[in-house]
Structure 1
Amino acid sequence: MSYVEADALTAEVVAEYLRDNPDFFQDRKELVDRLAINNVEQGAVSLVEVQLKRQRQRIEELEEEITSLMSLAANNDKTFYEFMALQDQVLKCRDFMQVIKAVEQKATELGLKAYVRILSQSGFYQLSDEGYAKFSLNHLNGKDAYLGRLRKTDRQDLFGEQSAPELGSYVVLPLAKQSPIGLLAFSSEDGGHFQPYMDTLFLRHLALVVAHMAETLPWQNDNEPRAQHTSSQ
Structure 2
Amino acid sequence: MSEAATLTAETIAQFLQDNPAFFDEHAELFSSLKVPHPHARHTLSLGERQILTLRTRNKELEWKLSELLHNANSNEAISDHVTLWCTHMLAEQDPQRLPQRVVDGLRQEFRMLEVALRLWDLPALTDERFQGSDDMLQAFVAGLQKPYCGQEGYLPAHEWFDSKPGSVAMVPLTHEGRSIGVLAFAAEGAEHFKPDMGTTFLEILGKLASACLSRLNYAA
TM-score with structure 2 setting the length: 0.69
Q: Which deviates further from its counterpart, 68-77 or 183-192?
A: 183-192
Deviations 1:77-99 (A, max 9, x none): 22212211111222344566533
In structure 2, how many angstroms separate the alpha carbons of the residues matched to 1:196 and 1:171?
Answer: 9
Identify if the C-alpha distance between structure 1 residues 182 and 72 changes in structure 2 by more than 3 Å, giving closer, same or farther.
same
1:132 aligns with 2:137: no
Matches within 5 A, 1:1-233: 1=1, 6-8=6-8, 11-20=9-18, 24-25=22-23, 28-39=26-37, 41-43=39-41, 44-94=43-93, 97-109=96-108, 110-111=110-111, 112-118=113-119, 120=121, 125-126=131-132, 128-132=137-141, 136=144, 142=145, 144-147=146-149, 149-151=150-152, 154-156=153-155, 159=157, 161-163=159-161, 166=164, 168-177=166-175, 178-191=177-190, 193=192, 202-218=201-217
Higher relative contact order (CA 8 A, sep 6+): 1
Deviations 1:198-225 (A, max 9, x none): 7765543332121223334238x67xxx
In structure 1, how many angstroms separate the alpha carbons of the residues matched to 2:72 and 2:182?
Answer: 27
Identify if the C-alpha distance between structure 1 residues 146 and 66 changes in structure 2 by more than 3 Å, giving closer, same or farther.
farther
Give identity over the alignment, percent. 26
Q: Which deviates further from its counterpart, 59-68 or 176-185?
A: 176-185
Deviations 1:138-194 (A, max 9, x none): xxxx5x5455x413xx2515x253136545444443323524443323233345555
Deviations 1:121-140 (A, max 9, x none): 79754261343367x3xxxx
Number of equivalent positions: 208
Deviations 1:13-37 (A, max 9, x none): 3222334455654665433333333
